[in-house]
A and B are shown apart, each in its own frame.
Chain A
């Protein structure tokens, strides 16, 4: 997870006891038919309190009510943070709704796709959810606004969005207002009325105030609760109420200023010192306050302040963390600013030390910078970087790259290279070359002129420089340079350098792969995996194993691929986290093994592996797993003759596709075209070829080999003399290219197609010889029905070749029937009804809740009820998992399609 969550930001504030009830505001907020509730007013109008109180009442009346709360701050202006908090908050109250979207978000998918995914889930959610975004003005900016506007535009009826802000958000408010879909609570509404003022004052002060006095206070404060609260506090325990009020009403100083001073004056010195000393802190807890004020009893002081209603707001329900009311903190800080620099710097310095001791490096550095201790900030940053890298929190480092002044980076090479690492991890390449050049300059300086806090890192720098240059080259589309530099980085690496020893070979491998040199890529990836294993990055080992197995399959080494994946699975097993769960990537191993089994035509094993993978749940898979699972399931469905479902699954796969660093050599659209060809939809397949600009006379490259072989299949199926000639020419060229690249896996397929195209027994012979050792069977079925007579002839002429007979039996469906995946709902205790299956089918599409309802000619509520039952019966809590499980159980495969596909035999994919 790239963002470490601050739990207090997800905490729903609980209203204090003894609040004055304000039913007119509750009535406003309860308005029906509104989609967006906007509470917009300047600081100190009681926005948060009002919403918290309203929701508390609602929650008490309906304990099942799902309320998600996010308290935003300036750090949430970055989309990575903002959406992480919003989706996490949603997922916590409506489990399953946010997990897919979160995975996409962390994989770097565009906001539109992420928002669409969560909306997709929410629109069929049986229950209602309220989402509150507090202090939205703090996070608002172009980066956030676009995504939020999308959310608001397509807001499902189940989601009530409440935005609390000091400034109207840049959303289409006028339009929502005109349609009656906006509920607004503004300053005018939030001001305390005369009645409310009277009630408030008597509650807080315990005094029976004269009507004239109340009126005077009301007039002066204008119902602004922040000042009313301060006034009430000032009045507590005061002898001469009228005199105070007269003086107060007559003074025209900034009201908060005036009243805060009055209140502060009333406090004992100890309290005053505490307040002024801790004003620099954004968040307060007992021991932090003690450290900053160099005293004791901070925890008790905070509790006291809370009890006496003096400006602190609890941030959790365990009385551990608090913050100050914004206005109060502002005033306090002006007291600090007015004083000489010394004391303030000291406060920040002590805060920095406390955070450093707690291991909170981000805040430690921030306070050090605020104290003007640039050198100390640099030291803290340098020492914190290894841990941040391990925890994948490079976003913090990236922030430092902007916050740390250049002069302090200019003589700290370890710091400088660490900052580069943070930038690279965030794909922020712009400034990197300049920084690398500067680090080289630093390394040429005499050692005495450099400042190094972490000397162990110093010898690693030269190799790291080469490695980052390799990454830049790869990113710039220059794989040859990338390989050269990566290899050099590995040569230069010292023994104990887990980063370079894992990352450099991985870079080299990626570059080789992009160039089509699979043997080199394979060798590099083996080194990378070893490096990652030694660095204990198990999930990364699994990710690379997946790539390695892909390469092995392309090289024709099906057995090696299976071994790689089994080793990965074994490793995952040995590293299971305590407390249950599996290592992320375990599911991917199983899906890839399923693919291996499918290649051997062991469909029962393939189905079983896929089922096991699905049972592990979404947390067990890496970012690409949802897409790979669907492609694997599509293959099984196609093998069973259910082409329609196969196509649907491939469409789904494309929708959930997430790219990664490896070259996309098996694009789903090409797999889809293969299904089209197998089903006889040659027009559809031709359209695909045109859309992707594929022609028989194209220049060939490894990266498009899969697509070109697919084109060859299409040409063969077309069966016209011209198409056959094109096919033969294309296949000849593909053959040479595959031979040059050592890609035996592709070679087998190409030879099989050549055999089918030209009734070429020699080609078939060679293909079978290559395929037999590892048992590649399905590849022959993909060559289409035209291969059958060639196989038959071969088997007649060469009865000694048992493997050939096996392939023939598979192709004609006369062998031992490979058990089709379990059909029907025998595994369900409570099977789905016909109607529920209809709804489930539509859940597999992109349609949102209202569209599904329209399609079925029922109300949205009916759909939601069905969804509730479907989730319960399938044991899931979100739409995507329901669809996966449906496919798993074969519930989504329509019987009628299976009949139609059956006579096409098993000539699929």
Chain B
């Protein structure tokens, strides 16, 4: 599954390693963390790590994965 998670604040791309294969893109006071998440347990692990950084969580959305070419 692919997820898009929006948090308030700007996280440096260096933190991508922290989020294990997700992509970070910053815009207008928010950071978008997007990419594949293997299962619900992985998702909750990701959310817990975000929680531990103290950054306000804005939204968590599941998106349809890109159709493979």
Whether B18 lies near A337 (C-beta < 8 A) is yes
Question: How far apart are B57's CB and chain A's nearest CB, in angstroms?
Answer: 10
Bound form: Cα–Cα A224–B52 in Å: 13
Q: Which residues of B contact A330 (CB under 8 A)?
A: 18, 52-53
Given known A334-B18, A337-B17, A337-B18, contact A253–B10 (CB-CB < 8 A) = yes
Identify whether the interface residues of A are mostly helix, strand, loop, or mixed.
helix
The answer to whether A44 has its CB under 8 Å from any CB of chain B is: yes
Bound form: Cα–Cα A672–B58 in Å: 64
Q: Which residues of A contact B11 (CB under 8 A)?
A: 254, 257
Bound form: Cα–Cα A42–B52 in Å: 6
Q: Which residues of A contact B14 (CB under 8 A)?
A: 334-335, 338
Bound form: Cα–Cα A335–B10 in Å: 17
Instruction: Give residues of chain A (163-187) contacting chain B, Cβ–Cβ below 8 Å.
Output: 166-167
Bound form: Cα–Cα A319–B15 in Å: 33
A167, A224, A334, A338: the one contacting B54 at CB < 8 Å is A224
Q: Which residues of B contact A327 (CB under 8 A)?
A: 52-54
Bound form: Cα–Cα A252–B10 in Å: 6
Whether B54 lies near A43 (C-beta < 8 A) is yes
Q: Which residues of A contact B15 (CB under 8 A)?
A: 254, 257, 334
Specify which of B10, B17, B29, B53 lies most central, judged by the most chain A CB atoms within 10 Å of its CB. Answer: B53
The answer to whether A703 has its CB under 8 Å from any CB of chain B is: no
Whether A254 lies near B52 (C-beta < 8 A) is no
CB closest residue in chain A, given B11: A254
The answer to whether B51 has its CB under 8 Å from any CB of chain A is: yes
Whether A257 lies near B12 (C-beta < 8 A) is yes
Given known A252-B9, A257-B12, contact A334–B17 (CB-CB < 8 A) = yes
Whether A166 lies near B12 (C-beta < 8 A) is no
Question: How far apart are A303's CB and chain B's nearest CB, in angstroms?
Answer: 27
Given known A42-B52, A327-B53, contact A254–B18 (CB-CB < 8 A) = no
The answer to whether B42 has its CB under 8 Å from any CB of chain A is: no
Bound form: Cα–Cα A224–B55 in Å: 11
The answer to whether A144 has its CB under 8 Å from any CB of chain B is: no
Q: Which residues of A contact B52 (CB under 8 A)?
A: 42-43, 166, 326-327, 330
A224, A252, A255: the one contacting B29 at CB < 8 Å is A252
Question: How far apart are B26's CB and chain A's nearest CB, in angstroms?
Answer: 9
The answer to whether A226 has its CB under 8 Å from any CB of chain B is: yes
A252, A254, A335: the one contacting B53 at CB < 8 Å is A254
Q: Which residues of B contact A337 (CB under 8 A)?
A: 17-18
Whether A44 lies near B54 (C-beta < 8 A) is yes
Bound form: Cα–Cα A253–B10 in Å: 5
Whether B17 lies near A338 (C-beta < 8 A) is yes
Given known A334-B15, A334-B17, contact A43–B53 (CB-CB < 8 A) = yes
Bound form: Cα–Cα A43–B9 in Å: 16
The answer to whether A256 has its CB under 8 Å from any CB of chain B is: yes
Bound form: Cα–Cα A68–B9 in Å: 38
Whether B51 lies near A254 (C-beta < 8 A) is no
- Taken residue by residue from 330 to 370, chain A's Cβ proximity to chain B (1 for < 8 Å, 0 otherwise) reads as 10011101100000000000000000000000000000000
- Taken residue by residue from 244 to 255, chain A's Cβ proximity to chain B (1 for < 8 Å, 0 otherwise) reads as 000000001111
Question: How far apart are A704's CB and chain B's nearest CB, in angstroms?
Answer: 47
Q: Which residues of A contact B53 (CB under 8 A)?
A: 43, 254, 256, 327, 330
Q: Which residues of B contact A333 (CB under 8 A)?
A: 18
Interface residues contributed by chain B, number (CB under 8 Å): 14
CB closest residue in chain A, given B29: A252
Q: Which residues of B contact A167 (CB under 8 A)?
A: 51
Question: How far apart are A265's CB and chain B's nearest CB, in angstroms?
Answer: 15
Specify which of A44, A224, A252, A255 lies most central, judged by the most chain B CB atoms within 10 Å of its CB. Answer: A252
Bound form: Cα–Cα A252–B26 in Å: 10
Bound form: Cα–Cα A337–B15 in Å: 8
Question: How far apart are A647's CB and chain B's nearest CB, in angstroms?
Answer: 52
Instruction: Give residues of chain A (183-201) contacting chain B, Cβ–Cβ below 8 Å.
Output: none
Question: How far apart are B60's CB and chain A's nearest CB, in angstroms?
Answer: 15
- Taken residue by residue from 222 to 264, chain A's Cβ proximity to chain B (1 for < 8 Å, 0 otherwise) reads as 0010100000000000000000000000001111110000000
Question: How far apart are B22's CB and chain A's nearest CB, in angstroms?
Answer: 13
- Taken residue by residue from 29 to 63, chain B's Cβ proximity to chain A (1 for < 8 Å, 0 otherwise) reads as 10000000000000000000001111100000000
Bound form: Cα–Cα A333–B53 in Å: 13
Bound form: Cα–Cα A335–B17 in Å: 9
Question: How far apart are B49's CB and chain A's nearest CB, in angstroms?
Answer: 8
Question: How far apart are A211's CB and chain B's nearest CB, in angstroms?
Answer: 26
Q: Which residues of B contact A252 (CB under 8 A)?
A: 9-10, 29
Question: How far apart are A837's CB and chain B's nearest CB, in angstroms?
Answer: 55
Bound form: Cα–Cα A743–B53 in Å: 69
Whether B12 lies near A42 (C-beta < 8 A) is no
Whether B54 lies near A256 (C-beta < 8 A) is yes
Bound form: Cα–Cα A252–B27 in Å: 11
Q: Which residues of B contact A256 (CB under 8 A)?
A: 53-54
Instruction: Give residues of chain B (4-20) contacting chain A, Cβ–Cβ below 8 Å.
Output: 9-12, 14-15, 17-18
CB closest residue in chain B, given A224: B54
Question: How far apart are A167's CB and chain B's nearest CB, in angstroms?
Answer: 7
Given known A44-B54, A224-B54, A226-B54, contact A254–B17 (CB-CB < 8 A) = no
Question: How far apart are B16's CB and chain A's nearest CB, in angstroms?
Answer: 9
Question: How far apart are B39's CB and chain A's nearest CB, in angstroms?
Answer: 17
CB closest residue in chain B, given A41: B54
Question: How far apart are A559's CB and chain B's nearest CB, in angstroms?
Answer: 62
Question: How far apart are B44's CB and chain A's nearest CB, in angstroms?
Answer: 11
CB closest residue in chain A, given B12: A257
Q: Which residues of B contact A335 (CB under 8 A)?
A: 14
Bound form: Cα–Cα A337–B14 in Å: 8
Whether A166 lies near B17 (C-beta < 8 A) is no
Specify which of A45, A254, A333, A335 lies most central, judged by the most chain B CB atoms within 10 Å of its CB. Answer: A254
Bound form: Cα–Cα A166–B54 in Å: 9
Bound form: Cα–Cα A256–B51 in Å: 14
Q: Which residues of A contact B10 (CB under 8 A)?
A: 252-254
- Taken residue by residue from 305 to 344, chain A's Cβ proximity to chain B (1 for < 8 Å, 0 otherwise) reads as 0000000000000000000001100100111011000000
Instruction: Give residues of chain A (807-852) contacting chain B, Cβ–Cβ below 8 Å.
Output: none
Bound form: Cα–Cα A252–B51 in Å: 19
Specify which of A44, A226, A330 lies most central, judged by the most chain B CB atoms within 10 Å of its CB. Answer: A330
Q: Which residues of A contact B17 (CB under 8 A)?
A: 334, 337-338
Bound form: Cα–Cα A127–B44 in Å: 42
Bound form: Cα–Cα A256–B55 in Å: 10
Whether A42 lies near B18 (C-beta < 8 A) is no
Q: Which residues of A contact B54 (CB under 8 A)?
A: 42-45, 224, 226, 256, 327
Q: Which residues of B contact A224 (CB under 8 A)?
A: 54
Bound form: Cα–Cα A860–B17 in Å: 57
Whether B9 lies near A42 (C-beta < 8 A) is no
- Taken residue by residue from 69 to 90, chain A's Cβ proximity to chain B (1 for < 8 Å, 0 otherwise) reads as 0000000000000000000000
26 cross-chain CB contacts under 8 A: A42-B51, A43-B51, A44-B54, A166-B51, A224-B54, A226-B54, A252-B10, A252-B29, A253-B10, A254-B9, A254-B10, A254-B11, A254-B53, A255-B9, A256-B53, A256-B54, A257-B11, A257-B12, A257-B15, A326-B52, A327-B52, A327-B54, A330-B52, A330-B53, A337-B18, A338-B17
A-B complex: 8 closest residue pairs judged by Cβ atoms:
A337-B17, A42-B54, A338-B14, A253-B10, A254-B11, A43-B52, A254-B9, A252-B10
User: What residues of chain B have their CB less than 8 Å away from a CB belonging to chain A?
Assistant: 9-12, 14-15, 17-18, 29, 51-55
Q: Apart from A254-B9, A254-B15, A330-B53, what 15 extra A-B contacts exist at CB < 8 Å?
A: A42-B54, A166-B52, A167-B51, A252-B9, A252-B29, A253-B9, A253-B12, A254-B12, A254-B53, A254-B55, A326-B52, A327-B52, A330-B18, A334-B14, A337-B18
